[in-house]
Amino acid sequence: MTTASAALTLPSPEATAALAEWLAPRLMPGDVLLLSGPIGAGKTHFARALIQARLAAAGLHEDVPSPTFTLVQVYDAGGVEIWHADLYRLTHPDEAVELGLEQAFDTAICLVEWPDRLGAATPADALALRFAATEEDGRRMTATGGDRWAGLVEALGQWGRQDA
């Protein structure tokens, strides 16, 4: 298996949201995005924008709160479930299994913040998005995925060169 990688500079929260909006219609059930990075790096902002874009495309609108305390929020975006999980408060990978994430990985679009908490349950074919703050108050996002994601990662790199 080869690994594809692209790095993008996101100079503002609006750029982060624009990237999420661009990515939203390209995802389908069974796609798992692993959102990592320190607190305040833009993971939740990205996830909210992606979910809201997907909901809007289905003619829907609802608040998209951070699942920090609920651990998982599930949305129906026109017949496609989107699971947004924030695993920050988990102390052991077994707790992630109890949330039902492994089944959702096969049937829903899953956005997982703090994916290191998944341990061995981390899907091997997920797309990893790593966020980091930059000195200029922007964000740096690196996308890494296997063969399944090669075309999308290449398109993300193109997006970054055109829109950043």
Residue 93: per-residue pLDDT: 85
Helices (H), the chain: 13-23, 43-57, 93-98, 101-107, 150-163
List pLDDT tens digits, range 65-103. Answer: 787 778 999 999 989 999 999 999 888 888 888 888 999
Q: Is the pLDDT of residue 163 over 60?
A: no
Domain boundaries, the chain: 4-100+120-163
List pLDDT tens digits, range 19-57. Answer: 999 999 999 999 999 999 999 899 999 999 999 999 999
Inter-CA distances, 131 with 58, 63, 93, 134, 140, Å: 28, 23, 22, 10, 6
How many other C-beta atoms can be found within 10 angstroms of the C-beta atom of residue 16?
23
Inter-CA distances, 155 with 65, 139, 159, Å: 29, 19, 6
- Adjacent-strand bridge partners of 112: 34, 85
Of 133, 125, 163, which Cα lies nearest the Cα of 17?
Answer: 163
Question: What one-character DSSP code corresponds to residue 100?
Answer: T
pTM of the model: 0.92
- Between residues 144 and 1, the one the model is more confident about: 144
Q: Is the pLDDT of residue 135 over 90?
A: no
Q: Is the pLDDT of residue 164 over 60?
A: no
Domain at 4-100+120-163, CATH class: alpha beta
The mean per-residue pLDDT over the stretch 107-114 comes to: 97
Q: Is the pLDDT of residue 2 over 80?
A: no
